[in-house]
Structure 1
Amino acid sequence: MALCLGQVFSKAKTFRPRKRFEPGTQRFELYKKAQASLKSGLDLRKVVQLPEGENLNDWIAVHVVDFFNRINLIYGTVSEYCSERTCPIMSGGLKYEYRWQDGEDYKKPTKLPAIKYMNLLMDWIESLINNEDIFPTRVGVPFPKNFQQVCKKILSRLFRVFVHVYIHHFDSICSMGAEAHINTCYKHYYYFISEFSLIDNSELEPLVSF
């Protein structure tokens, strides 16, 4: 029998502290609206559509943070099975390998164990979503001109977590009875990025035939 979400994704397995929206802010209200739609059982294709009268960048920001939280939690659930021994490179099967580059400590694409790649990835995303110059939280402060480009890069790299988890750790996910929850999260993510063309189709190839 499948476990409930709370049992599978326990706080003890959280890979990293969750980023939360401040109550009383417009983004918090948008987040509540999005969550209510998800829980209502509506078609996920409709859930991701921009609500009438809302700002697109606010809608994208809410979802990027939420996907970071969810995908971070998903990886935290399987991280005990993902070690330098079991996953010496960050990959998605034999055909796809992901190398880390951040322009600072790693100026060139560098081959890393999956667990180290994931740590660097989550640190990098966390630093971006906590940066007021990129994800402003104060009323009246505009998003930067490159905001959507930054979000595209974040979402593209988060997709690699799905690739690695599905291809290398799906048996562990199934043994915990969590596959339905992860499938729903992936579908929500996929419909969102498709709705707003936030990832190039070539990036999605690793899971097309999975």
Structure 2
Amino acid sequence: MIHLSFRKSKTKPNGKKPPAEEKKQYLEPEFTKIRVVDFDLKELVVLPREIDLNEWLASNTTTFFNLINLQYSTISEFCTGDTCQAMTACNTIYYWYDERGKKTKCTAPQYVDFVMSLCQKLVTDEEIFPTKYGKEFPNSFESLVKKICRYLFHVLAHLYWAHFKETVAMDLQGHLNTLYAHFIVFVREFNLVDPKETCIMDDLSEVLCTPAPPPAPTPAPSAPASAPSPSSQNHVTER
């Protein structure tokens, strides 16, 4: 059993916007090529013929929650109220919405605490994630799974955006890459996260989730990539 610990930060966010788009270290080939496994992850996520869909979603969602929480714990000492004064990923700031819909801007560690606490509460609730034979899943089960997966994606995106250097320093980029690719393939298979939500990491998803084509003997010269406009660089999305 994985021990789940949640650190509390007393530092309040100062309202600063995330930095403009910068070079993404995690997209460099020397890092994207590092994986823990080397096979088609689609084989791991396809619903087995003899397994109930909800059982499959419950099992995988619980596993992803534990693994992403564990991955975050490896860099948690670097994710503080001072270093991560807002929950950011690319040019997006994530706000927390409580059960009454109240919008709160918080530090990244506070946001992750909220995410992990909520996920733990849901996946351990027998009325939502039943483990006893014959126990029915609630009608709201799929929507709750989607909610969990959306929040877990935010944590993964923050890990890449704000803490990839620390991940590389601990030689854990292969684990992060494999976990991210497995998660994305899974949520795509069952339409669990809106593509509009995950599009901020589409460049990474394309690299990690798309099988590499065989090398061409004489590749045609590629056109130089156009630089993003200043307006796109400085645009900040709030969610």
CA shift for structure 1 position 180: 0.7
1:52 aligns with 2:49: yes
- 2:114 aligned with 1:125, yes or no? no
- In the other structure, the counterpart of 1:97 is 93
**Matched residues in 2 for 1:42 and 1:61: separation?**
24
Percent of aligned pairs sharing the same letter: 37
- Counterpart-to-counterpart distance in 2, 1:201 and 1:79: 28
Query: 2:103 is paired with a residue of what secondary structure?
Result: coil
Alignment of 1:19-168 (within 5 A): 42-93=39-90, 95-103=91-99, 107-168=101-162
Distance 1:123 1:46 in 2: 30
Q: Taking structure 1 as reference, are residues 205 and 186 closer, same or farther at Cα in structure 2, changes over 3 Å only?
A: same
Aligned mates of 2:164, 2:141 — CA distance in 1: 33
User: What's the Cα RMSD here?
Assistant: 1.8
Q: Give the drift of 1:120.
A: 1.2
Give the alignment's TM-score, normalised by structure 2.
Answer: 0.69
Match for residue 23 of structure 1? Answer: none
Question: What's the offset of the Cα at 1:130?
Answer: 1.0
Contact 1:163 1:207 in 2 (8 A): yes
Q: Distance in 2 between matches of 1:74 and 1:152?
A: 20
Deviations 1:153-173 (A, max 9, x none): 000000000110000100000
Looking at structure 2, the residues matched to 97 and 41 of structure 1 have their Cα atoms a distance apart, in angstroms, of 33
**Stretches (4+) displaced over 4 A:** 39-42
Q: Which has the higher helix share?
A: 1
Q: Which one-letter code corresponds to 1:203 in the other structure?
A: E
Residue 16, structure 1, aligned to residue 16, structure 2: no
Please report how far the alpha carbon of residue 42 of structure 1 lies from its aligned counterpart in structure 2 after TM superposition. 4.4
Matched residue pairs, number?
174
Shift in Å, 1:15: 4.8
Give unpaired runs (5+ residues) of structure 2.
7-35, 205-239
- Secondary structure of 1:54 counterpart: coil
**Residues 139, 158 of structure 1: alpha-carbon distance in 2 compared, 3 angstrom cutoff:** same
Q: Cα deviation per residue 1:31-72 (whole Å; 9 max; x = unaligned)?
A: xxxxxxxx9864201111011121000000000000000000
Greater Rg over alpha carbons, structure: 2
**Counterpart residue type for residue 112 of structure 2:** M
